[in-house]
Amino acid sequence: MDGLTSAQVSGAKTNHVPRRSSRSLGAIIRANVFTLFNLVIGVLWALVLIFGAWQDGLFGLVIVANALIGIVQELRAKRTLDRLAVINEAPVTVRRDGREQEIPPRQVVLGDLILLGPGDRLLVDGEVVESDGLEIDESLLTGEADPVHKLPGDQVLSGSFAVAGSGAFVATKVGTDAYAVRLAEEASRFHLARSELREGVANFIKYITWLVIPIGTLLIYSQLRNSADFGTAITGAVAGIVTMIPEGLVLMTSIAFAVGVVRLGRRSCLVQELPAIEGLARVDVLCLDKTGTLTAGGMDLGEVLPLSEGRPIHDALAALANVDHRPNATAKAIQSRYPAAADGWTAVDVVPFSSARKWSGADFGPHGVWLLGAPDVLLDATADGYERAAELASTGARVLALCRADSLASASVAPAAGTEKAADGTAEAVALVTLKQRIRPDAHETLRYFAKQGVTVKVISGDNPDAVAAIATGLEIPDGHRAIDARTLPADDPAKLAELLDTHTVFGRVTPQQKRAFVGALQSRGHTVAMTGDGVNDVLALKDADLGIAMGAGSPATKAVAQVVLLDDKFSSLPHVVGEGRRVLANIERVSNLFLTKTFYAIALSLLTGVLGLMFPFAPRHSTLVNALTIGIPAFVLALAPTLERAKPGFVPRVLRFAVPAGLLCAGAVFLAFWAAHSGTSTLIEDRTSATIALFLTTWWVLILITKPLTLGRVAMIGAMAGLFALALAIPFIRHFFALEPGDLSNDLTAVGISVVAAAGISVAVKVAGTLRP
């Protein structure tokens, strides 16, 4: 029982598990360089450099820019995740050389004697050698919610966690040999969880890839047939194909996610899964566990109110508070007044506290059996002190009953439900103990933020409903006074449960299994549910919620399963967490409108010119200029802009309802401007200049529509883009570089007139399409 010696530790196998809080450097480079789009654009770039002017190959720089920006942003996110993942790793308590010490999880070795207390997560497999009422929750491994009582000789597996009692086990499998090493890594591993945004972008890309092949072939054929200059034909075909590809859309999505991770990292918020950023934006119900979330960690011992004379109340409290060498928050609060047990008060049998049981107790031999726990669990409604406890709880205080019992025999194992009475209902109330909970100073402001943003708050606690209601009322939570005792809720009627959850806000005496059921019931009503928590009783609900948010000071088990961890333990960080998610998703949808409008006008123009056998209206350098001014530069600005709009489902249909009519009308305007100019005596360069003017003006108008609501900064950006295009037409060097010749005033004014009509048509079309439902 002294554990390993230092000499034994030095040669033992360590608990080395590769940290996967993000992709490796090699994987990041491969993911950003070796893409289908980079291959297609690279081939087209090579064709232009071989058969055309190098200025028409400027679009090839997109490959370099996309790869570099993507790699840099993801590396920043990787560093943030890796740094925060180390901070998030809870130390492991081991006994070596006969003394206890805390070490990082990676320094655990085979054969280590590991000590356990409530809330500790098991990172390696082992065999129990010491048990003092030790109960292990293996629900994350087996799906069974009831904790398992462990005795010496029993096996324990990584991925489970202690919920009650204390004990020790010897590590028998460490590192990659551990049973649930994959589960242990899951919380900090880079992976693409289900995401409507990513799926929508992927679907766009898939369909466009299939369209590029036949339309590109038709375009190449038409350009070769209508041009005596092979180089002009190739560059015209390349201009159409390149414009069809939304090469920046995937980049902007990745950048927005990565920047979101970095921004939240600066606020000590660890986002353990990148797609959790999207989940943040969709949340419309936030479930809060009162203790540790609305109230600050720790409690203060208030009054000790005797209910009977001649009982050793203070000695019993001191003994119960000090019976566990790894005390919980309640025991610590009592220890502040009773730092040590009185002489002769030695426990011969102990039942540790658990959230399911809601009481703890010990047999002190000649001094008898003493219990401490929730009055409404330990006492009958007719018992002395029951009504007094309810009155105290209604003031917001946490109230415990100190009881004397005949035996612990019937309470040696935690019951499945929290309604069982201790010791066959023979407990005698001796005193009431009040504990003062500390309201977080930032709770008021944070709750007001959620109310303003349309996020419904549900307070779900294991405490007395009256006490929870008092806290909720003090924090001005709507309907906070109408608390429901969860023990009265229907257990076999999910529809009725969902209805009650929709119409009520505060719930007390909620068991861990009920918290999980609450999340499922809310989700059945179409809600996107976020769950916050810090204790082991929150783990199952955190795991099932759309977004699990753990407090940094919470148990290792909660931090392991949550998608977001508030490392600084600040409740006030939650508005920033939700706001960041909304910013990312709303901006990506806005940017997607830009990129997909470009794709649809390129497809339409390619089909028109291919079928009618005309030259393509512009060269690659023209599309490079226009795309940079109306999509590329604005997209970077818009993707990182602040917004508070809550994300709504239906991302793909909404984007299509905007991009399809806008893209088709842009294509129509460009084609008409080019056709009108081409019918006269002007040169091909002059005709393409007129088409480029029409392309810029129509897509510039699309940018204005997408950028709304217009702020001073956005107006300045839009004006700057127009000014840069005017400079490109006015300055001879730039004009020559981009092959622009605005020499035919009649054609150019015609292009402007067509663009104005098209802009009006775009405004009407997207407004009408926006009112339609898929």
**Active-site residue list:** 289
Q: Which residue has the tokens 């009618």?
A: 612
Is-contact 4 172, C-beta < 8 A? Answer: no
The CA distance from 724 to 735, in Å, is 12
Which three-class secondary structure string do you get for 464-476?
A: CHHHHHHHHHHCC
Pairing between strand 428-439 and 529-533? unpaired
594 in helix, strand or coil? helix
Tokens at 406, concatenated = 């005949």
Q: Which residue has the tokens 């407990």?
A: 427
Report the run of H or E that residue 155 belongs to, with start and end: strand 155-156
The CA distance from 459 to 445, in Å, is 16
The CA distance from 262 to 365, in Å, is 57
Q: Using alpha carbons, select from 653, 629, 645, 669 the residue that is nearest to residue 759.
A: 669
The CA distance from 283 to 523, in Å, is 11
Measured CA to CA in angstroms, residue 1 lies from 94, 112, 726 at distances of 11, 10, 81
Is-contact 289 514, C-beta < 8 A? Answer: no
The CA distance from 110 to 8, in Å, is 10
The CA distance from 160 to 142, in Å, is 9
> Using the 8-state DSSP alphabet, how is residue 409 labeled?
G
Could you tell me which residues come within 8 angstroms of residue 471 by beta carbon, excluding any fewer than 6 positions away? Answer: 290, 294, 295, 396, 437, 439, 459, 480
The CA distance from 240 to 214, in Å, is 12
Q: What's CA 140's distance to the chain center, in Å?
A: 20
The CA distance from 256 to 621, in Å, is 28
Which three-class secondary structure string do you get for 36-101?
A: HHHHHHHHHHHHHHHHCCHHHHHHHHHHHHHHHHHHHHHHHHHHHHHHHHHHHCCCEEEEECCEEE
Measured CA to CA in angstroms, residue 166 lies from 151, 161, 341, 412 at distances of 11, 11, 19, 14
- DSSP character string of 237-296: HHHHHHHHS-HHHHHHHHHHHHHHHHHHHHTTEEESSTTHHHHHHH--EEEE-IIIIIEE
Q: 190-211 burial string, b = 16+ CB within 10 Å, else e? A: beeeebbbbebbeebbeebeeb
Tokens at 698, concatenated = 């129509």
Measured CA to CA in angstroms, residue 173 lies from 15, 156, 460, 469 at distances of 9, 10, 38, 47
The CA distance from 435 to 437, in Å, is 6
Is-contact 261 77, C-beta < 8 A? Answer: yes
Pairing between strand 285-288 and 529-533? parallel
Q: Using alpha carbons, select from 356, 451, 371 the residue that is nearest to residue 146.
A: 356
The CA distance from 292 to 79, in Å, is 29
